Structure formats: C-alpha cells, structure tokens
A and B are shown apart, each in its own frame.
Chain A
Amino acid sequence: MSVLNVTRKRRRGRRGEQPMVPDAEFSSYYGKPVINSPVWSVPDVPGYLFLGGLAGLSSLLAAGSDLTGRDALGKVGKLGAFGAGVLSLVGLVHDLGRPMRFLHMLRVLKVTSPMSVGSWLLSGYVPLAGVAAATTVTGRLPRIGALATAGSALLGPAVAAYTATLLSDTAVPAWHDGYREMPFVFVGSGATAAGGLGLLAAPIAQMSPARNLALLGVGLELAMFRRMRTRLGMVAEAYDTGKAAKYVKAGQALSALGAVGAVVGRRNRIACALSGVALLAASAATRWGVFHAGMISSEDPKYTVVPQRERIRKRRGDKEF
C-alpha cells in the first residue's frame, strides 16, 4: 500500500504539513477526511438525541404510572415527556440551515429517510404528549388525557429508538457500523434518563418503577455499548478519542454512580434526587459521546479507509496482508 501523502490535515482552510509524511497503515489524500463531517451542531443535535430518549421513555413511565395509579410519577413523566419533546423539536429546528423551512419536512414521508420518519413521528408524538401533559396539569378532559397518554406511550419508544437509526443511516463509520446495537444503547439511555427524571422529581413513595427503569436502562446501555465496541473493531477507537472518550467515560461513571445511588440511597429523597440528576447527566453524556465519536470518525480518513480496505481484502479472500 502506498504510504504517501498522509499528512494530518483535516478541515479546509487549515494548512497542511510537509507533503510526504509517511504513515505505515493506510493512504489518504493529505490526511483529509474521505466523507464530509456532519454539519450538525452542539448542543442542538446531541441534545435532540438525549431529549428524544428522555421523552419517549418518560411517556412509557407515565402510561405505566397511570395504569398503576401512581399519579405523581405519571405527572412527572407526562410533563417530562412533553417538555423534552418540545425542546427536542426546538433543537431540531434550530439546527436547520433554513429554520423557516421546517415545514418542508412534512412535504413527503420517506421511509428511506429516518429524519423524515422522525419528523412525522415527532409531529404526532409531541401534540399527544402535550395533551397528556395539559390534561394532567389542568385535570380537565381525563378521557382524552388517557387516550393521549396511551398514544404517546405507543409512539414514545419509537421516538426513543429512531434517533439511533437517524445516526446510523449515514456514512459516518462510528455511527453506521454500530447500527445493530445503537438502538438498544439509545433506548437504554432513554430509560436511564426517564428513570433519572422520576428519581429526581417524583415523590419517594412512587419512585420504584422509575428506579427499576433506570437500572434496566443502565444495564442495557452498558451491555449494548460494550457489544457495539467489539463489533466496531478499529472504529471503536473513535469512542476512545478526544471529547468522545471524555463523554463516554463520564456517561458510564455517572450511570454507575446513579445506579448505585438509586439503590443505596433509595430511602433518602436527596440521594434519590442526586442519583436522578446523575442518571440524566449520564444519558446526556452518552449521547454527547456518541455524537462526538461520529464526528471524530468522520474527520479522520482512517476510519473510512481501513475498514473498507479490510472489507475488500476479506471479499478477495486475501489473508496475508
């Protein structure tokens, strides 16, 4: 393989280095990325991922609470779901290059576009969550409230899960190649967040489903994250690099902390609240981590070139490289 022209110049505008810095592993064009990095910004998009998970799972929590008569937890869930849903929409619109053209999202429905699917989902989900929230707050129209709650609980899991598809359905190696596990990580992370919100805001008496949800979420998220990394192979490095590594590590630490706190401090309102905050932060950190890992993997051509080369080699059955 050629070892030329591999300087580490990333983005347009910055200056390259000596033209002939050798790199033993792969060739690239002056170290420039092969694919264009997402133009999505922070906090809009990682926030959107986080809030979507929080909203979706909160709706489930709310519906369960209604069914099991946990009014307060239900209220937290509904308000949380609606708040997060609205904020996530705000994030989405804010990130558009032409926010005034937001409605163009609803010109068509394309299953090939997770963003299209998501837009339709959200535009169904957010009003439902809104009605659910409004009815609990005002206490009016309980039947419609119940229907809305059920409806949002039905759409909620989709809202939480689709954002993984949104990321995976790109050429960004750290996202695309993780498409098998990412929905589970995201759902787990959503559960962590929704549980965390319950721990933070619900009365201690009604808290246990939230705690359970959080613990299940933490478990799922951590397990699937580990699996994702194994499958990603060298691309997993992106999750151990720079900002991504910081967020991912923080997320895991906070998850563990929150989980332990939620269990150990379960009789203490403050401990519960603190655990809740930790879990919310953990969920957010995970999304931030995933987001940055994607950026890192798109900015360094090796994440594109090496796995693709590997793929070609495997296809050709050429083992002795």
Chain B
Amino acid sequence: MARLTEKTVDPASEAGYVDHPRRMGFFTDTSVCIGCKACEVACKEWNAIPEDSGPLTGMSYDNTAGLGANTWRHVAFIEQRKPMAYQEPGVDHRDIDGLALAEQGFSVSEAAEEFRWLMASDVCKHCTHAACLDVCPTGSLFRTEFGTVVVQEDICNGCGYCVPACPYGVIDRRADDGRAWKCTLCYDRLGVGQEPACAKACPTESIQFGPLDELRERAARRVEQLRADGVTDARLYGADPDDGVGGDGAFFLLLDEPEVYGLPPDPVVTTRDLSAMWRRAGAAALLAVAGAVAAFALGGSR
C-alpha cells in the first residue's frame, strides 16, 4: 500500500510488466476542439456501445450530458460571457500599416466579443493511481502493459464499487447489463499498433495520442505558446505527476477552471488515505472489543 502514497512514474512496471511498451495516453487540447463530436461517435462505433438517446437537454449543444457507461467520450459545451481567446497573429507584420489595431489584440469592449463557446472532449483519465482499479474487488479492472486501465467484461460482477471511487465520475454501471464500462483507451487497437478510434477521428488534432512523456512535453510547449500569444487562460490539467492521482494518462489543456468543464479542481485518489482508513477501522474494531468487555464488566442491576 506504500505505493499509493509514492510518486509512480511507470504504472505498468508497477503492475509487474517487464519489458513493456511505453506508457501511452492522450493529450486533449481543448483550445482547438470544434465540438464536432466525431470522437464520441467513433468511440461508440468502434466499441459497439449501446445507443443512449434522451430528450434535448438544453445544455448548449451537449445532449449526452456526461461520461458514463454508454458514453466513453463526451464533448462538453460551455457558453460564457468572457472574451474570446484572441490569439495574436504570430507572423511579424509590424512593418505593415493598419494592423496596429490587430496588434493590440481586439478590445473587449463589445458585448459580441465578450462571449465565447468552449468545447472539450472528456474521457477516462487512465490515472497513474487509479481509484477504480484499486477498489475493484474482482480484479476485473486491471493495468495494461501500456499503463492504461481497462475493465475485463467477463470478470466484472457489477459490484459498482469502482463507480463512486473514481474522482472524475468516469466509470459507470450499465443499467441493463449490470457491468461497469468505460474507455479502454482502445486496448484492442493499441494491441495491433493502431491509434484509438477517437483520436483517429478527431479532425483538428484536439485529441492527440502517443507516449505520455512526449505528450507532456508537447503540451508544455503548446501552453507556453498560447500564453505567449495572449491566451492567458490556457492551463494544463492532469499533466502533473505530483497531483492527487499521480498524473493522468489522459490530460488536458483547458481555457478555464476545471470545474467549469465538470472536472474536479483537485482530485485525489481515494486510496491515498486508505492506510489511515484501515488504521481507524482497526482502532474502532479494538474499541468494539473494549466496549464489549466493558459492557460485561460494568454489570448492572440485572
């Protein structure tokens, strides 16, 4: 259990793989997401996920509402009264007259510009310290050689424990079949050297798939560039190996606070506190024995 509190760099080795491939993951750059939902559909098609139609939600263009057993990729739509992320043209054109205005960045004086529409494709984070996996009593959830977290549908008995354990609200139990489901990071595709279906379908490279360390470097450069270009809202989420889950295997570039996208601002793998929990439970059990002894020792009128 010590590992739960340690910084793990390589969850696959941790899980006992020797000579395994590099840890693979996603960098989802929401600043270029066009909300086309191709990722959602590609995921459903590839994984033959049941349809899940409901009425219009009224949540902007989001009608699938969130990740769940039947939605492993979910695109969030956020309409905000905030200025658009105006990006400074990167090409130097100071010698050209008339661009003074554009150089200053567009002012935010007008209502029309104080508006933006954020879109972000969410997915299982394939946490370094995955609560779902930790709490799974059957071993149905396991760590793959790619460092990802996958449910084995023939093992899962539907105990549902993983569901509230996940700090991101990802995994869920399917009502009709009783088992837990979530993104597999297309384990079957990775196995044959293909990239995940969602990344393949994404037209703007908002979803980037690759070795996690490379993605982290790329993301760091991207966020730097955006900030330099005046998109000061840009930030990475889940990229830090020192965070509460030891870093996400699928991390994000966001343009606002995580909770705006429905993400927890400071997630912690629940099992980080598990030793303390067991100690407390042990103490309580001992106290129970002590209490019982006392109950008999105290005696009473009858």
* A39: contacting residue among B58, B76, B173, B283, CB under 8 A: B173
Min CB distance B239 to A, Å, is 16
Known: A164-B281, A209-B300. A171 touches B288 (CB 8 A): no
Contacts of B260 in A (CB 8 A): 2, 4-5, 27-29
B21 within 8 A of A: no
| Docked complex Cα distance between A172 and B169 (Å) | 10
A201 within 8 A of B: no
Closest B residue to A194 by beta carbon equals B292
Contact B285 A160 (CB under 8 A): yes
B158 within 8 A of A: yes
* B294: contacting residue among A16, A216, A312, CB under 8 A: A216
| Docked complex Cα distance between A176 and B139 (Å) | 22
Min CB distance B155 to A, Å, is 6
Contacts of B148 in A (CB 8 A): none
B59 within 8 A of A: yes
* A183: contacting residue among B273, B281, B289, B302, CB under 8 A: B281
- CB under 8 Å from chain B, chain A span 1-54: 1-2, 4-5, 9, 12-13, 15-17, 19-20, 26-30, 32-40
Contact B135 A115 (CB under 8 A): yes
Contact A2 B256 (CB under 8 A): yes
For the complex, would chain A's binding face be called helix, strand, loop or mixed by DSSP majority?
helix
A110 within 8 A of B: yes
Contact B155 A104 (CB under 8 A): yes
Per-position binary interface string of chain A over residues 123-164, scored 1 when its CB falls under 8 Å from any chain B CB and 0 otherwise? 000000000000000000000000000000000111011101
Contact A171 B167 (CB under 8 A): yes
B55 within 8 A of A: yes
* B57: contacting residue among A9, A96, A164, A311, CB under 8 A: A9
Min CB distance B159 to A, Å, is 6
Known: A212-B300, A309-B266. A15 touches B288 (CB 8 A): no
Among B59, B80, B131, B155, max chain A CB count under 10 A is at: B59
A319 within 8 A of B: no
Contact B65 A12 (CB under 8 A): yes
A190 within 8 A of B: yes
| Docked complex Cα distance between A142 and B291 (Å) | 26
Contact B68 A36 (CB under 8 A): yes
A119 within 8 A of B: yes
B301 within 8 A of A: yes
* B138: contacting residue among A20, A108, A157, A181, CB under 8 A: A108
* A1: contacting residue among B1, B257, B282, B285, CB under 8 A: B257
| Docked complex Cα distance between A68 and B254 (Å) | 66
B267 within 8 A of A: yes
Contacts of A175 in B (CB 8 A): 164
Contacts of A184 in B (CB 8 A): 280, 283-284, 287
Contacts of A115 in B (CB 8 A): 135, 137, 159, 161
Known: A119-B137, A205-B302, A298-B164. A19 touches B60 (CB 8 A): yes
* B164: contacting residue among A26, A36, A61, A267, CB under 8 A: A36
- CB under 8 Å from chain A, chain B span 43-95: 54-60, 65-68, 76, 78-82
Contacts of B198 in A (CB 8 A): none
Closest B residue to A111 by beta carbon equals B1
Known: A38-B160, A204-B302, A305-B265. A110 touches B276 (CB 8 A): no
A275 within 8 A of B: no
| Docked complex Cα distance between A234 and B159 (Å) | 30
Contacts of B262 in A (CB 8 A): 28-30, 32, 34, 301
Min CB distance A309 to B, Å, is 5
Min CB distance A7 to B, Å, is 8
Contact A97 B157 (CB under 8 A): yes
Contact A112 B274 (CB under 8 A): yes
Contact B288 A187 (CB under 8 A): yes
Min CB distance B228 to A, Å, is 24
A243 within 8 A of B: no
* A64: contacting residue among B280, B283, B296, CB under 8 A: B296
Known: A97-B157, A115-B135, A119-B137. A208 touches B301 (CB 8 A): yes
Min CB distance B68 to A, Å, is 7
* A96: contacting residue among B56, B159, B288, CB under 8 A: B159
Contacts of A308 in B (CB 8 A): 264-267
Contact B271 A190 (CB under 8 A): no
| Docked complex Cα distance between A115 and B156 (Å) | 13
Per-position binary interface string of chain B over residues 121-144, scored 1 when its CB falls under 8 Å from any chain A CB and 0 otherwise? 000000000010011111110000
B209 within 8 A of A: no
Min CB distance A88 to B, Å, is 14
Min CB distance B107 to A, Å, is 21
Contact B286 A157 (CB under 8 A): yes
Contact B157 A114 (CB under 8 A): no
Contact A161 B270 (CB under 8 A): no
Closest B residue to A170 by beta carbon equals B164
| Docked complex Cα distance between A204 and B286 (Å) | 28
Contact B158 A36 (CB under 8 A): no
- 14 extra interchain contacts, Cβ-Cβ under 8 A, other than A57-B292, A216-B291, A308-B265? A12-B68, A16-B58, A36-B172, A98-B178, A107-B155, A164-B284, A165-B281, A169-B270, A179-B273, A184-B284, A190-B288, A206-B302, A294-B164, A311-B266
User: Which residues of B come within 8 Å of A, CB atoms?
Assistant: 1, 4, 54-60, 65-68, 76, 78-82, 131, 134-140, 155-161, 163-174, 177-180, 256-257, 259-267, 270-271, 273-274, 276-278, 280-289, 291-296, 298-302
Listed by A's residue number, 16 A-B pairs whose Cβ atoms lie within 8 Å are: A32-B262, A34-B168, A38-B164, A57-B288, A68-B296, A102-B157, A105-B159, A113-B136, A171-B165, A180-B276, A184-B280, A191-B295, A207-B302, A213-B295, A308-B265, A308-B267
Closest 4 CB pairs of A and B: A97-B158, A97-B178, A208-B300, A29-B262
